[in-house]
Amino acid sequence: MKKIFTFLIIIFSLTGNSQILDPVKWTTKVIQKSNTEFELIIDATIDYNWHLYSQNTPDGGSQPLVFEFKNAKGNYTLVGKTTEGKYIKEYNEIFEVDEYFFVNKAQFKQLIKVTNTNLKEIKIALSGQVCIDGKCIQEDDNLTIKLPEIKQETIVEKVEEKAVITDTKEDKKTTEEIITKVDEVITDSTNSNVEEVKKVETTTATKKEIKKEEKKGLLSIFILAFLGGFAALLTPCVFPMIPMTVSFFTKQSKTKAEGKKNAFIYGISIILIYLLLGSLVTGIFGADALNALSTNVWFNIIFFGLLVFFAASFLGAFEIVLPNSWANKVDRQADRGGVVGILFMALALAIVSFSCTGPIVGTLLVEAASKGGIAPIVGMLGFSSALALPFMLFAMFPGWMNSLPKSGGWLNTVKVSLGFLELALAFKFLSNADLVLQAHWLEREVFLAIWIVIFGTWAVYLFGKLTLPHDSPLSHISVGRLFLALLVSIFTVYLIPGLWGAPLKLISGFPPPMTYSESPYGVGNSQGGGGEATSVLPAHAHYGPHKIIAFHDYEKGVAYAKEVGKPILLDFTGHACVNCRKMEEHVWSQPEVLSMLKNDIVLISLYVDDKRSLDEKEQYISPETGKEIKTIGNKWSDFQITRYKNNAQPYYIVLNSEGKDISDPVGYTPDVEEYKTWLKEGIANFKK
């Protein structure tokens, strides 16, 4: 009985009337590397079943973790980037991107070099997102890391490492003690073994999922790169070199066996050259840096520019060539014969064909960089294997040469077609940047319109109605080209209904999500039969999910509710809140719920992860949490914590037109009937 009573007291102390969740506990320590170099280690202990998102989680998904070193200027410099431990990679069907997150625990490291020997502490502000099934919260915290005394003397390298452990929050100890007591009580209960088994099974399954997802991602990169290498073969820079190379091996080799051996060495040399390129990219930038590049706004814009540059080259605007002196020097080395000569022959192929292979290789490396890890190496293995295989096989079996088609204008058609594909792919990177910035320059309709024009123009080209600089005169089109023209035309027509709200599942993940558009369900489509509120948006309002009129500012929304005499649905949400999107897609879309949201209530959606800065005069220190309120998201998060003692999203409350609560708050409520009943009661309370 005493244990049960203690357990109830502990549970009450953890929950009580307050719903402020704190699922991540942060601790820090310092390892002194030299007199002025220190490694900062930040450990996160994550409550059971919660997910803390990585610094590298891709754009368009949940909010990545960000560390801001507040007092760096004039005191210390960062050496490299903040590294992190192994994360879990999982596809999110709502956001249509892979997400990277940690469970149970995570560790982050940052090396610094101190320039101010009087420095006593490092101040770090961190922001991110942590979620569990049903809710997400903003993880905003301030860490203070105490440094050991720095002696004012010359740097002594390789001193004995010294660890200084500090706790970043005094009140964390109390929480940890409570959690320890809860664990002790649960351990004594009959269900303890079941819980432990569940945790072990979850950990084991998680490790298997990580390996499975990694293999799946690398396999897809290999296959795409292999297809890219095959496409490179069919370009005017590479295809004509096949018979020339085969002729060299058959004439220079004294026996058939020697010819086959040399052809094999030649193929392996091609693979090694491209593997070296992939290794250099991974080695120079590093796996973590590649992930960081792929999720950075400015690098997405740079990738966009690179792909447009490559596409212009393929379309005939200019040729990307390496210096002729390189090719001449390598060609002279190839005359040496033997294994070294064959290696230089392979290098000569890479240099001479660069005007056609360069854009493909560049595109593959950009795409592989978005995956991170050893993806660039795997990509170059796939590309070079496809490129080398025909040279090896035709040199080993010269008789097969008779089955090859003759060189001609069709080779340039392949090159131009690759240009159209690269141009279309480029806009995916620009879309990533736009989604992160929430600039709404490249919304879904604009993205689809661009693709329709690109693929439509490609179809016109394939039908022979458009001629580009390096095309040969065309008296007729081949059957193969006709079939390709028909296929591209069908795809173009398939894209058009997307402007009116069609889901376009064939290209899921490429265009922006349905909610990121001028009209979430297409031009002129209310989708759901919920009725229309008004054809003209009120001042300061926006179209939210399902074309529901929504306000993103509390005061302006309340003012409008007073004007029209309607109750308010206050919606605490986030751009990167997956459970918020689930509610909007699966609950709000139901006809009766949608009708109430459009006609009977004023929706105020406050985004707690809005990173836009407040004006300086509007910034403040929260009396409730003591945190700096600098962004719009900080303001609404602090509003939710201060008024409702809650920091989870989604979070819904019905208010009257004066802004007073007239319903109990609810969180994630996937049951449509339950949510509909709750919403009806709130509206009924307003009418009383």
pLDDT in tens, 296-331: 677 778 878 888 888 888 888 887 665 666 556 655
18-32 average pLDDT score? 83
Cα-flanking dihedrals φ and ψ of residue 444, to 5°?
Answer: -55, -45
CA 611, distance to chain mean position in Å, is 17
Residue 157's CB is within 10 A of a number of other CB atoms, namely 9
Quote the pLDDT of residue 530: 43
Q: Is 543 helix (H, G, I), strand (E, B) or coil?
A: strand
Spatial separation of the C-alpha atoms in residues 118 and 317, rounded to whole Å: 59
Q: Which residue has the higher pLDDT, 169 or 427?
A: 427
List pLDDT tens digits, range 62-75: 888 989 898 888 88
Does pLDDT of 379 surpass 70?
Answer: yes
- Sign of the CA dihedral running 155, 158, 162, 167: positive
Per residue in 211-254, pLDDT tens?
444 555 677 778 888 888 877 777 766 766 677 666 666 666 66
Q: Which amino acid is at 475?
A: S
pLDDT digits (tens, 9 = 90+) for 188-217: 433 444 444 444 444 444 444 444 445 556
Q: Is residue 192 a contact partner of residue 185, using CB atoms and an 8 Å limit?
A: no
User: For 180-188, what is the mean pLDDT?
Assistant: 40
CATH of domain 18-189: 2.60.40.1250
User: In 10 A of CB 202, how many CB atoms?
Assistant: 14
Instruction: Give me the pLDDT at residue 557, please.
Output: 94
Domain spans of the chain, in order of start: 18-189, 211-442, 541-687
Q: What is the pLDDT of residue 13?
A: 36
pLDDT value of residue 347: 76
Confidence of residue 469 (pLDDT cuts 50, 70, 90): confident
CA distances from 132 to 24, 49, 580, 586 (A): 12, 6, 12, 18
Q: Specify the pTM.
A: 0.47
Whole-number average pLDDT of the chain: 77
Mean pLDDT of 147-158: 56
Confidence of residue 163 (pLDDT cuts 50, 70, 90): very low
Cα angle, residue 569 at apex, residues 565 and 572 outer, rounded to 5°: 145
Q: Say if CB 583 and CB 670 are below 8 A apart.
A: yes
The pLDDT of residue 524 is above 90 = no
In whole angstroms, how far apart are CA 116 and each of 40, 80, 147, 281?
A: 17, 19, 12, 35
d(CA 681, CA 670) in angstroms, rounded, equals 17
Q: Which residue has the higher pLDDT, 91 or 356?
A: 91
Q: Return the pLDDT at 295.
A: 52
Q: Is the dihedral of CA 345, 346, 351, 355 positive or negative?
A: positive
Rounded CA-CA distance 614/618 in Å is: 6
Contact (Cβ atoms closer than 8 angstroms) between residue 395 and residue 454: no
Mean pLDDT, rounded, for 433-461 = 89
C-beta atoms surrounding 560 within 10 Å: 20
Range 32-35 contact pairs with CB under 8 angstroms and sequence separation of 24 or more: 32/148, 32/159, 32/161, 32/162, 32/164, 33/111, 33/159, 33/161, 34/155, 34/156, 34/157, 34/158, 34/159, 35/150, 35/151, 35/153, 35/154, 35/155, 35/156, 35/159
Give the model confidence (pLDDT) of 330-352 as tens digits. 556 555 556 777 777 777 777 76
Choose among 216, 213, 371: nearest CA to 292: 371
What is the DSSP secondary structure assignment for residue 631, as one 8-state letter? B
Average of pLDDT values for 8-26?
Answer: 57
* Mean pLDDT within 485-501: 93
* Neighbour tally for 205: CB within 10 Å: 10
Q: What is the CATH number of domain 541-687?
A: 3.40.30.10
Residues 644 and 606: beta-carbon distance below 8 Å: no
